A = this chain, B = another copy of it.
Amino acid sequence: MTKTINESTAAAMLQAADNILLLAHQYPDGDTLGSNFALCRALQALGKTVRVCCGDPIPDKYNYLYQDVPQPDFSPDFVCAVDVADVKLLGDALAKQYGDKIDLCIDHHGTNTGYAAYTCVDSTCGAAAMVVYRIIGLLGVELSPAIAQCIYTGIATDTGCFKYSNAGALAHRIAADCIEVGIPYEMINRVNFDTKSRARIELERMALDRMRFYHQGRVAVMAITNAMVEESQAGENDLEGLPPIPRQIEGVWVGITLRQKADGNYKISVRTGTHADAAKICAVLGGGGHERAAGCTTQGALEDATATILSAVEQVVPRIVTG
């Protein structure tokens, strides 16, 4: 059973610790990396021995977050996971090695499973980097440009560059604090939001070619098959951020993305506007999620998967057919 603590207590625990191992989640994103490396830099500024560990390789585009951060080898006396909602999200190897030895977890997920000895969660924050920002302040470490660009990256990437509902006033105020110390925020945003590989462009082109509409354009279905991924030479990173695309089309109530898995079956992502509940649609097929974004899996070929999810949509949102 974890003990819930506030940011002051978390800062005091870190202040008292040394030889600190920080853990990021697998498939690392801008928030888990930004918040971990911001904290790493701050603790190193206090003279502590610290490094960040991630179960997956870090994509090259995040090099600017940590290229000048020493990552010493040592036997940790204190283990702290940042932006990791569930111990499973560390990945198998790290979960096995450290899963039952995590002293502190700093997070912003309301769904945090409480796997650490002490947990400091603020689910009103749009990014873990916002929680870390306050803890760094409590540690008395000055907000350097290097720390600020890690914090800004965490906030910008988790809020879709301030687009989503989690980009509240505090997210903007902390971003402003970071900008004021002098960070290359335009470069950060270009790298994270305005750069696509040629493989990704090719994959999007193929996906748009094969987009199908149903029920007077209220349902849009986009399929990503293994053949398309192979033909476009898209890597795992190129497949991120596809599910919002069908929903962005004007008049679409339900946007569906079908992504073929290695076993040939399809993983389904559902995105909805105010007219339909994505979680209810996916629940029909044993899946789950949120009102506006949910997921499930199906068995069978593309035609079967499409028919199955369309039938779930029609069942949950009958108005989509008749209305």
The reply to whether B162 and A169 form a contact with Cβ atoms under 8 Å apart is no
Q: Does A186 count as interface, using CB distance less than 8 angstroms? A: yes
Q: Does A176 count as interface, using CB distance less than 8 angstroms? A: yes
Copies in the complex: 2
- Using CB atoms, name the residue of chain B closest to A238: B250
Would you give the 0/1 interface string for A153-192, flagging 1 where the beta carbon is closer than 8 Å to chain B?
0001000011111011110110111011000011001100
Interface residues of A in 241-275 (CB under 8 A from B): 244, 247-251
The reply to whether A204 and B208 form a contact with Cβ atoms under 8 Å apart is yes
| Among B163, B179, B208, contact of A161 (Cβ-Cβ < 8 Å) | B163
Q: Does A74 count as interface, using CB distance less than 8 angstroms? A: no
Write out the residue numbers on chain B whose beta carbons fall within 8 Å of the beta carbon of A204. Answer: 208
Q: Does A195 count as interface, using CB distance less than 8 angstroms? A: yes
Write out the residue numbers on chain B whose beta carbons fall within 8 Å of the beta carbon of A175. Answer: 162, 172
Interface residues of A in 195-213 (CB under 8 A from B): 195-198, 201, 204-205, 208-209, 211, 213
Q: Does A286 count as interface, using CB distance less than 8 angstroms? A: no
| Cα–Cα distance between A190 and B249 once the two chains are bound (Å) | 11
Write out the residue numbers on chain B whose beta carbons fall within 8 Å of the beta carbon of A248. Answer: 194-196
The reply to whether A193 and B163 form a contact with Cβ atoms under 8 Å apart is yes
| Cα–Cα distance between A17 and B165 once the two chains are bound (Å) | 39
The reply to whether B197 and A201 form a contact with Cβ atoms under 8 Å apart is no
- Using CB atoms, name the residue of chain B closest to A204: B208
Interface residues of A in 31-66 (CB under 8 A from B): none
The reply to whether A198 and B165 form a contact with Cβ atoms under 8 Å apart is no
| Among B162, B165, B176, contact of A173 (Cβ-Cβ < 8 Å) | B176
Asked if A162 meets B164 with Cβ closer than 8 Å, knowing A173-B173, A179-B169, A197-B250, the reply is: no
The reply to whether B244 and A194 form a contact with Cβ atoms under 8 Å apart is yes
The reply to whether A251 and B194 form a contact with Cβ atoms under 8 Å apart is no
Interface residues of A in 132-163 (CB under 8 A from B): 156, 161-163
The reply to whether B161 and A169 form a contact with Cβ atoms under 8 Å apart is no
| Among B186, B190, B195, B250, contact of A196 (Cβ-Cβ < 8 Å) | B250
Q: Does A217 count as interface, using CB distance less than 8 angstroms? A: yes
Asked if A196 meets B249 with Cβ closer than 8 Å, knowing A172-B176, A201-B211, the reply is: yes
| Cα–Cα distance between A180 and B161 once the two chains are bound (Å) | 18
Residue among A165, A247, A250 with most chain B CB within 10 A: A250
The reply to whether B179 and A172 form a contact with Cβ atoms under 8 Å apart is yes
| Among B162, B172, B198, contact of A249 (Cβ-Cβ < 8 Å) | B198
A162-B162, A169-B180, A197-B250 given; 4 more Cβ-contact pairs under 8 Å: A165-B185, A173-B173, A194-B248, A198-B249
What would be 11 A-B contacts, judged by CB atoms less than 8 Å apart? A163-B189, A163-B190, A164-B189, A169-B176, A169-B177, A169-B180, A173-B176, A194-B247, A195-B249, A195-B250, A196-B250
Residues in A lying within 8 Å of B, measured CB to CB: 156, 161-165, 167-170, 172-173, 175-177, 179-180, 185-186, 189-190, 193-198, 201, 204-205, 208-209, 211, 213, 217, 244, 247-251
